[in-house]
Homo-oligomer: A and B are copies of this chain.
Amino acid sequence: MIMYSSKKLKAPEHQVAGHSAKEGRLGPLVDGEGRFFKPFQRDFRGKNEDTFYEFFSSNKNAPNHIHGYFPSYQGTQVVEASNGSGKLPHIVLEDVVTGYLKPSIMDIKIGSRTWYPNISQEYFKKCMGKDRGTTSVSLGFRISGFKIFDHEESSYWMPDKKVVHGYNVDEARLALRKFVSSNSLADSIPDCAFASEIYGGPNGILAQLLELKAWFETQTLYHLYSSSVLMFYENESVLMKGGDDARARVKLIDFAHSFDGSGVIDHNFLGGLCSFIKLIQDILESSDNNNETNIFQFKNGH
């Protein structure tokens, strides 16, 4: 077991969903050198997630390019918990946004349902309430949280989680447009100026999502409930270098509710992923006609 110094650990700057370590609560920590420490969740969930990472990271049945969509796993480590409750076991993962200066980030929980067979009636009701109360049922996914760098204000816009969880289909679609827009986030008509460079292209978000989709069409290793697609890109690059190195990336995270696929594909995840892909494709198609104009205007300060 590798020992890390726990002295430098702090709450992640770019976390957009899930439990936060800020204000003395229990949440994940980062060491600023590329490692992300996720405290074991109570009951079976922490152990289940750790087991998922342990088995997946050495699973040769998942192709190499698919492994790249998951944070790399570096074992477990007992470190001082963020809430001052003493030393607790943490899962040590790659901090996927290390090296990003001004990332825009969005966490999208995939699947129309977050419950699964053989759960308590109480947990079923809780999940079902959230699934029906968000866009999970209607869209097949829900946005859990995001932060977008506002190029006009040179600051971040990060709406309250409760606002985000209350989004309907149109609001979720709007957020996906704002995520790749250059104009003021208060503006109701996003210009989608970065759509083609962030969502599009051979290495863009869409290409990565399609690669994941192809895998989910056949993989029966895992069923992932309440897992998320995390997508992010570097605004500093878009600002300074014309987007040549925006490093738009997709990572899958959160596996506390992952299970053996038992020979069946994860149709719940796949269906939601396809719906998410369709909305990204819609934005790319609608921005195709005016995208170059928008970039030109943006880069010239209009």
Contact = CB atoms under 8 A, between A and B. Distances in A.
A207 interface: no
A278 interface: yes
A138 B223 CA distance: 10
A124 to B, nearest CB: 9
A48 interface: no
Interface in A251-302: 262-265, 267-268, 270-272, 274-275, 278, 281-282
A113 B173 CA distance: 24
State the main secondary structure of chain A at its contact with B: helix
Given A138-B117, A263-B169, A217 B268 contact: no
A117 B139 contact: no
A274 B266 CA distance: 9
19 contacts: A112-B268, A112-B271, A117-B138, A139-B264, A139-B267, A140-B267, A169-B262, A169-B263, A169-B264, A173-B263, A217-B274, A218-B281, A220-B278, A263-B282, A265-B278, A267-B271, A267-B272, A267-B274, A270-B270
Contacts of A270: 270-271, 274
A137 interface: yes
A138 B267 CA distance: 9
A158 to B, nearest CB: 26
A282 B218 CA distance: 10
Nearest to A276: B267
A274 B265 contact: yes
A169 B117 CA distance: 13
